[in-house]
């Protein structure tokens, strides 16, 4: 279920509510009791990591977008040359 953010236009009280998408918006402020709550527009903050439909579907040319993928890592330094063992 999504988390919705609300702000009271009367007193400025802010709150978050977990609601179904089909639920009616909240209108009564728990801070002042007035019917002046308004739903805020906010961005969802999440990251899809690992395999799944978003990773395997909708990709072309066998490209992947995984956390820790070698394409996103800086180039590693070449291996050190081995010197001759002392005699």
pTM of model > 0.85: no
Number of domains making up the chain: 1
* Residue 16 located in a structural domain: yes
* Residue 75 located in a structural domain: no
CA-CA distance, 16 to 4, in Å (whole number)? 6
CA proximity to 19, closest of 35, 34, 33, 37: 37
Q: Which domain holds residue 11?
A: 3-39
| pLDDT tens-digit series, residues 57-71 | 556 666 655 556 555
* Residue 10 located in a structural domain: yes
* Residue 77 located in a structural domain: no
Contacting residues for 4 by C-beta, under 8 A, at least 6 apart: 16, 17, 18, 19, 25, 26, 39, 40
| pLDDT tens-digit series, residues 72-87 | 445 555 556 555 555 5
pLDDT for 51 beyond 90: no
* Residue 9 located in a structural domain: yes
The most confident of 8-12, 44-48, 62-66, by mean pLDDT: 8-12
Would you place residue 15 in the very low, low, confident or very high pLDDT band (cuts 50, 70, 90)?
very high
* Residue 64 located in a structural domain: no
């Amino acid at each position: 279920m999504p988390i919705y953010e609300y702000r009271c236009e009367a007193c400025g009280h802010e709150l978050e509510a977990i609601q179904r998408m089909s639920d009616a918006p909240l209108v009564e402020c728990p801070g002042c009791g007035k019917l002046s709550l308004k739903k805020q527009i906010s961005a969802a903050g999440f990251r899809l990591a690992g395999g799944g439909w978003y990773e395997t579907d909708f990709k072309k040319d066998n490209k992947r977008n995984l956390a820790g993928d070698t394409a996103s890592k800086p180039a590693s330094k070449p291996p050190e040359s081995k010197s001759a063992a002392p005699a």
